[in-house]
Amino acid sequence: MRSDQAKGAALVLAGLTGLTGAAWAIRHRQKKGKSYEDLDSVVSFSARLVAGMRAYESREADPLFRDPLAEVLAGKQGMEGAKMTMKELDASEGNDENEHGETAHDSTSASKKEPLQRGYMVGRVALRTVFFDTKLLDAVTSGPPAAIKQVVLLGAGMDTRAWRLPLPEGVSWFEVDRSDVLKAKKKALKQAGAAFSEQENNRGAKYPLKAASYITCSVDLENQNWVDGLIARGFDPEVPTCWILEGLVMYLSPVAVEKLLKGMHAVSATGSRLLIMAFCGTDIKEWYTRTATSQSVGWVADLVATFKSSFPKDADVYLAEKGWQLKTSMGYKDMAEAYARGMPWNTDLSNGSNTLVAEDDYTSYIEAYALMR
């Protein structure tokens, strides 16, 4: 593979969910057979890997955020995948696992070695987490015109903001994802002692719900009508909404993404906002075909083969056609400056990954406002 092709392929993979290293690292398991425990597919499993990365960020000495539920939601397999993304850094830093399979990030071995800096993939997930945290808190506290009281996460995965963020009173919370993901999430949260209602809060739950209500909606966003189900469960189109699409749209076809953007707008009262992660200006089909065929590993090929779409470079025009006015668009460098006083991972890594990440100017974190209906 030519070096620019290799770089492109790596960029695409790295941009997806921050999973690249995990994908490569657990290739041996995938050769034996594709198993994602109680989840149906590699796309569902991506939710656990991202949770694992949030768990590793939470273990940092000076983390950008803390997500105490992330580890239980990642589960053994998700933690294993995320840990392997740290291993690249471990190896380059001369901090290999000890004979017990522990790295310096393991709490049990933390006292034996200096804590390592986070790997670049965990750093990327950390930055994106802070972007969505910051913009969401702004939406639910400042408006305009009044503070938003309704939040919907599409492709919610193992997100824990309903328990983690200091939400103001009265925020209705909706999460939409596939049924296997939502079922596994609820089971893990219950076991961890998370509350799903005010009554459970009052009974002294270990992790109180910070939202006023928590409603889930199992749906395949590619093929099913999600709006009716949401409304049937209490979503109010007359109440301004903050929509969150984090690490989702690349898994949907261009037609489904367009329908989704227009569908959200159709039920967005004045003042609603959209927070979305998107690849802008890349032909994902070309990238993934090239990448998938360049990898001998089923897991990577499987993951990459699920990518179906990207935004055009001029995301503002594209969004405006679907009812959304772009307000902010940030890349990793912007977020690193705004939220982390610089890139939060070791930029001296010799494996080239950081250069790729530094040059990643196609992954965009976008805040948009609903145009008048």
Ligand X SMILES: C[S@@+](CC[C@H](N)C(=O)[O-])C[C@H]1O[C@@H](n2cnc3c(N)ncnc32)[C@H](O)[C@@H]1O
Residues near ligand X (CB under 6 A): 17, 43-44, 46-47, 50, 155-159, 177-178, 181, 220-222, 246-248, 251-252
User: Which residue number, 119 or 247, has a Cβ lying nearer to ligand X?
Assistant: 247
User: Which residue number, 64 or 252, has a Cβ lying nearer to ligand X?
Assistant: 252
Q: What's the per-residue H, E or C state across the chain?
A: CCHHHHHHHHHHHHHHCCCHHHHHHCHHHHHHCCCCCCCCCHHHHHHHHHHHHHHHHHCCCCCCCCCCCHHHHHHHHHHHHHHHHHHHHHHHCCCCCCCCCCCCCCHHHCCCCCCCCCCHHHHHHHHHHHHHHHHHHHHHHHCCCCCCCEEEEECCCCCCHHHHCCCCCCCEEEEEECHHHHHHHHHHHHHHCECCCHHHHHCCCCECCCCCEEEEEECCCCCCCHHHHHHHCCCCCCCCEEEEECCCHHHCCHHHHHHHHHHHHHCCCCCCEEEEEEEECCCHHHHHHHHHHHCCCHHHHHHHCCCCCCECCCHHHHHHHCCEEEEEEECHHHHHHHHHCCCCCCCCCCCCHHHHHHCCCCEEEEEEEECCC
User: Which residue number, 18 or 323, has a Cβ lying nearer to ligand X?
Assistant: 18
Least distance from ligand X to the Cβ atom of residue 64, Å: 15
> Residue of minimal CB distance from ligand X?
157
CB–CB of 157/132 below 8 Å?
no
Least distance from ligand X to the Cβ atom of residue 274, Å: 14
User: Which residue number, 83 or 185, has a Cβ lying nearer to ligand X?
Assistant: 185
Least distance from ligand X to the Cβ atom of residue 252, Å: 6
Least distance from ligand X to the Cβ atom of residue 174, Å: 13
User: Which residue number, 46 or 346, has a Cβ lying nearer to ligand X?
Assistant: 46
User: Which residue number, 102 or 180, has a Cβ lying nearer to ligand X?
Assistant: 180
Least distance from ligand X to the Cβ atom of residue 110, Å: 25
Tokens 């004045």 — which residue?
270
User: Which residue number, 90 or 177, has a Cβ lying nearer to ligand X?
Assistant: 177
Least distance from ligand X to the Cβ atom of residue 196, Å: 18
Least distance from ligand X to the Cβ atom of residue 152, Å: 12
